[in-house]
Amino acid sequence: MTALDGIWLARPERPGRGIPVAVKDLLDTAGLTTTYGSALFAEHVPAESAAAVRRLEASGYSVAGKTNLHEFAFGVSSQNAHFGTVPNPVAPGRLAGGSSGGSAAAIAAGEVELALGSDSGGSIRIPAGWCGIVGFKPTYDLVPTDGCFPLAPSYDHVGPLASSVEGCEELLAALAPGFEPAQIESLEELAVGVAWTEHADPFVRRRVEAAAARFPRARRIEVPFPDPREWSLFAREIADVHRALFPEHADEYGETVRTKIEACFAVADGEVAEAERLRAEYREQAAEALAGLDLLVTPTLAMVAPPDDVDERDIRKAVTRFTYPFDVLGWPALALPCGTAEDGLPASVQLVSTAGEDARVLAAGRLLASLVRGTAAA
C-alpha cells in the first residue's frame, strides 16, 4: 500500500504520446476498463470513448489513466465501497471530495497536471476545493456528456481540473471547439457581487472575503438558494437512470449509495412537477440577483476537508450548499485555491457568471490567482 492507492483504477499498458490527462472513470475510454465506480462494471471495457475524451485525443492529449470516484458519481466524498476511498494528497486522513475525487487527487499528488471530471452537484469543484487545485464546471451542454454515465442528465456537466486556471482554459479549448480564452487587464473592469460568506467557517470566510476584496468594484449582494423541494427533480432523474439496473442489482450497490437511490425512487410525481416549477422560478430569481454584474464570488465550500471516516450522507447537504445552485442553473463556475484555513487546509473561492460567460469567469480566475497565490496561512 502507498499513499496514492485509491487514486487510479486503470492505466494504459503504454503511455500515450500526447499530453497526459487523468480521466474520471465515469467517462468511457475505448479499450480501457471503465467501471463508473461500480462493482457491476468492474470488467467493463468500452468499444468507444466518450465524446469529451475523443475531443481531447484529437487535440493532442492522451489518457494517463482512469481515476477513482464516488460510486456512479452519486456522492461528495469519493468513499468507494468497491475500490477504496480516494486519498487526499495534501491532507492525509481527510477526504479528497467527490465525486471526481481521483481526478483532483491525481493532480494534487503531482502525477498529472490536467484531468477530466464531471459535475452534477459540485463533483468537480468540491474535490478541487479540498485538494487545493483548480476545477471548472462549464456552462451546461458546452461540453458533450455523450459516453459519460449519467447521474441526473439535466444537471450533468463534463469539465476540466488542473493545477492552474490556464490548464483549465487549455483543456476547455479542446473540449469545446470555438471557446477562446478572454483577456482582462485589471479586476477593476468587473462589477462583482459577493454572497454566502457568512455561511462559511471563520477562516474559510476570511480567505474568501480577502480574495473578493481583490475586486475593487465588489459589493455584498443577496443571492437566494434553490428551494429544497427542487431536489425532487434531481432525485427523479437519478431514479430514471437506475430504473432498469437497480431493482435486480441493489445488493451490489454500496450501502450509502443504495440508500440514497432508494430515496430517489420514493419521490412522487407531484413532487417532481413542483420541483420543475421551482427550478424555473429559481432561474429567474438568480438572473435578477446578478443583473448588472459581471461576476459572483462565493465560497466554494463552507469548510475544509473533513476526516475520511465521516458518513457522507451526514455532510452531503452542507457540502453542496454553494455548488449545487449552479448545476440547477447551468452557469459556469470556477473553484480556485485562495490560501489556507482551518487546520492549515486549503480554502477555495468560487467565481461564477451567467450561462455562456465561461471565458470571463476563467479570465477573472487567472488574474485573481496571480494575486492570491502565496497568501499566508491563517
- What's the pLDDT score for residue 4? 53
CA angle 155, 161, 167 (to 5 degrees): 130
| Cβ-contact 308, 131 below 8 angstroms | no
Grid cell at residue 183: 483577456
The answer to whether the predicted template modeling score (pTM) of the entire model surpasses 0.95 is yes
Cis geometry, peptide bond prior to residue 103 (ω within 30 degrees of 0): no
For the chain, give me the number of helices (H) and strands (E)?
12, 13
- The count of residues in the chain is 378
Helix, strand, or coil (residue 287): helix
Q: Which residue in 206, 167, 192 sits closest to 347, CA to CA?
A: 206
- What's the pLDDT score for residue 372? 82
Instruction: Please return the burial class of 173, using the count of CB atoms within 10 Å of its CB with bins 0-12, 13-18 and 19+.
Output: middle
Cell 465506480: give the residue: 37
Cell 482551518: give the residue: 342
Active-site annotation, residues: 24, 99, 123
- What's the pLDDT score for residue 5? 80
Q: Where are the extended beta strands (E) located within the chain?
A: 8-10, 19-24, 61-67, 79-80, 84-85, 114-119, 134-137, 157-162, 192-194, 218-220, 295-299, 333-340, 346-352
- What's the pLDDT score for residue 357? 98
Q: Give the Cα separation of 329 and 335 in Å (integer).
A: 17
Q: Along the chain (378 residues), what's the average pLDDT of each consecutive run of 10 residues? A: 73 92 98 98 98 98 98 98 97 98 98 98 98 98 98 98 98 97 96 98 98 98 98 98 98 98 98 98 98 98 98 97 98 98 98 98 97 56
| Cβ-contact 207, 339 below 8 angstroms | yes
CA angle 79, 314, 336 (to 5 degrees): 65
Q: Where are the extended beta strands (E) located within 68-138?
A: 79-80, 84-85, 114-119, 134-137
- What's the pLDDT score for residue 377? 37
